[in-house]
C-alpha cells in the first residue's frame, strides 16, 4: 500500500467527534500547556491531536489578550491609543477597529464566563456578537452556546 493510500485510509478515521474531543480537552481554561516536543504518535491522529491542541491554546491566549486590552482601555484611557499604535506595529494584522472590538470582547463579563466554562466560541467575530448581546438575548442563547457556535447560529 502506498503512503498516499495509507494517509487516505487514516484520514477517514478522523471523525468530527475526535476533533471535538481534542478541542474540548484543550479548552479547559486551566490547561495552558503548549506541546513543544516532537509528535511521538506519527499518525494522522497523532499530528492532528497535537496541532489542534496547540491551536486551541493559541485561541485561549487570544482571549487573554482581549481581556488585557479591555483592562488597559479602562485603566490607561489617555495612553490606550499609544498602546494600540505600538501593538499595530508589532502585529500588522491588527487595526484600530479590530483593537476596539477586541477590547469589547475582553470587557464582556459574559464572554469571560463562557471562557471560564470552556464554552467561548473560537471565532473572534462570534465572540464580538456575543459581547454585544443584551441580557434577555444572553438568556436565550446560553444553553446552545458552544465552541462551535457561529454568529449565524
Angstrom distance (rounded) from CA 14 to CA 108? 35
Angstrom distance (rounded) from CA 153 to CA 143? 12
pLDDT tens sequence across 94-142: 999 999 999 999 999 999 999 988 889 989 999 999 999 999 999 999 8
Angstrom distance (rounded) from CA 135 to CA 64? 23
Residue 47 in this model has a pLDDT that exceeds 60:
yes
**What's the gap between Cα 77 and its chain centre?**
26
pTM score, whole prediction: 0.74
Give the model's pLDDT for residue 12: 39
pLDDT over 70 percentage in the chain: 76
Query: Of 4 and 92, which is predicted with more confidence?
Result: 92
Look at residues 115, 69, 114 and name the one whose alpha carbon lies nearest to residue 94. 69
Query: Of 56 and 126, which is predicted with more confidence?
Result: 126
Give the model's pLDDT for residue 50: 83
Residue 19 in this model has a pLDDT that exceeds 60:
no
pLDDT category of residue 55 using cuts at 50, 70 and 90:
confident
Amino acid at each position: 500500500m502506498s503512503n498516499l493510500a495509507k494517509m487516505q485510509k487514516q484520514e477517514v478515521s478522523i471523525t468530527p467527534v475526535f476533533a471535538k474531543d481534542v478541542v474540548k480537552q484543550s479548552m479547559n481554561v486551566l490547561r495552558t500547556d503548549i506541546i513543544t516536543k516532537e509528535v511521538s504518535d506519527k499518525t494522522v491522529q497523532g499530528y492532528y491531536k497535537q496541532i489542534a491542541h496547540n491551536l486551541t491554546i493559541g485561541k485561549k491566549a487570544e482571549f487573554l489578550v482581549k481581556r488585557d486590552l479591555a483592562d488597559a482601555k479602562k485603566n490607561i484611557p489617555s495612553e490606550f491609543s499609544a498602546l494600540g499604535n505600538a501593538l499595530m506595529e508589532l502585529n500588522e494584522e491588527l487595526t484600530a477597529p479590530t483593537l476596539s472590538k477586541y477590547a469589547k470582547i475582553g470587557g464582556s463579563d459574559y464572554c469571560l464566563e463562557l471562557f471560564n466554562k470552556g464554552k467561548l466560541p473560537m471565532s473572534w467575530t462570534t465572540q464580538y456578537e456575543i459581547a454585544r448581546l443584551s441580557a434577555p438575548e444572553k438568556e436565550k442563547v446560553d444553553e446552545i452556546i458552544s465552541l462551535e457556535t457561529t454568529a449565524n447560529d
